[in-house]
């Protein structure tokens, strides 16, 4: 019988984003605060995902053995160090989150049956690497606050309440939304980035977060004057906004995860073949299955 297991590990390390062929001003323009001369540090959180058969002892692998392999090959080498000067690969490329994840994979793949490496630089920035050459996934997190009401204009208050419960109340209600945007792309062999992080954060903020933040979605966003602003529909809306601009940065939108509350969240898997919102909601009057 096959099973996937996960092992978590941690290390603290510092790094700097700096290319000597660029001036300090050019580095700061491209890499933001990451280019500052003394570098900066993180408490990294690492998840190693492995796959195999369950043996007669009820295990895929002895987790004590897994722990020692990860410590020897990764965490003991990086903990408390400047990553740029610790692993020789980072004399030729930058220790970005996605690039560190790839290097961890390369150090563990001969020892463990890994299927993915996920590395958190902090809770709102993490990367996943699946062993596909220079391809990786990068997720950035952000947040916005907004109010909404879930109701169809064609129905009475009583009918809307049957569908949406308290969310149909006429004066609406608000949420502190947490938004994760996952992009997919090929890492640049020089910068170690699949997309310029400063540019990606700026794009998400200007195109998605700022226009939605502190709005009453039903009244302030024209699209939601016709479409019920459930978490699902909001996530589709954000995905449609970000799709083309992210492709212009050289990556592709892979996933949107929108957390409406500790109890409610939704995920939109996105690709170039996904239908656009104009097709998805052509009637603009489709009740959602889950009220927020």
Active-site amino acid positions: 167, 214, 260
Q: In whole angstroms, give the CA distance from residue 11 to residue 281.
A: 46
CB 205 within 8 A of CB 141: no
Element (H, E) at 280: helix 277-280
**Which residue from 267, 126, 142, 244 is spatially nearest to 194, judged by alpha carbons?**
126
Look up tokens 């699902």; give the residue.
232
**Which residue from 18, 24, 46, 27 is spatially nearest to 108, judged by alpha carbons?**
46
Strands (E), 114-251: 114-122, 125-129, 135-148, 173-186, 215-216
Count of alpha carbons within 13 angstroms of residue 20, beta-carbon side: 5
């Amino acid at each position: 019988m096959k099973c996937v297991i996960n092992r978590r590990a941690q290390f603290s390390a510092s790094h700097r984003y700096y290319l000597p062929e660029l001036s300090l001003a050019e580095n700061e323009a491209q890499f933001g605060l990451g280019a500052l001369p003394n570098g900066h540090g993180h408490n990294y959180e690492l998840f190693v995902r492995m796959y195999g058969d369950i043996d007669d002892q009820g295990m895929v692998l002895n987790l004590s053995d897994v722990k020692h392999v990860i410590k020897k090959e990764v965490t003991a080498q990086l903990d408390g160090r400047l990553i740029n000067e610790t692993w020789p690969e980072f004399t030729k490329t930058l220790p970005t989150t996605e690039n560190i994840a790839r290097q961890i994979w390369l150090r563990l793949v001969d020892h463990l049956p890994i299927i993915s490496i996920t590395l958190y630089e902090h809770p709102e920035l993490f990367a996943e690497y699946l062993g596909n050459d220079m391809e990786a996934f990068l997720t950035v997190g952000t947040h916005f606050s907004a109010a909404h009401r879930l109701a169809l204009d064609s129905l009475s208050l009583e009918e809307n309440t049957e569908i949406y419960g308290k969310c149909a109340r006429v004066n609406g209600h608000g949420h502190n939304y947490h938004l994760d945007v996952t992009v997919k792309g090929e890492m640049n062999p020089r910068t170690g980035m699949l997309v310029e992080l400063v540019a990606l954060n700026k794009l998400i903020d200007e195109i998605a977060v700022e226009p939605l933040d502190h709005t009453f979605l039903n009244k302030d966003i024209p699209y939601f004057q016709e479409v019920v602003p459930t978490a699902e529909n909001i996530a589709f809306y954000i995905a449609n906004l970000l799709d083309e601009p992210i492709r212009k940065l050289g990556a592709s939108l892979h996933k949107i995860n929108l957390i409406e509350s500790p109890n409610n969240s939704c995920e939109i898997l996105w690709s170039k073949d996904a239908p656009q919102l104009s097709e998805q909601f052509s009637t603009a009057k489709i009740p959602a299955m889950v009220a927020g």
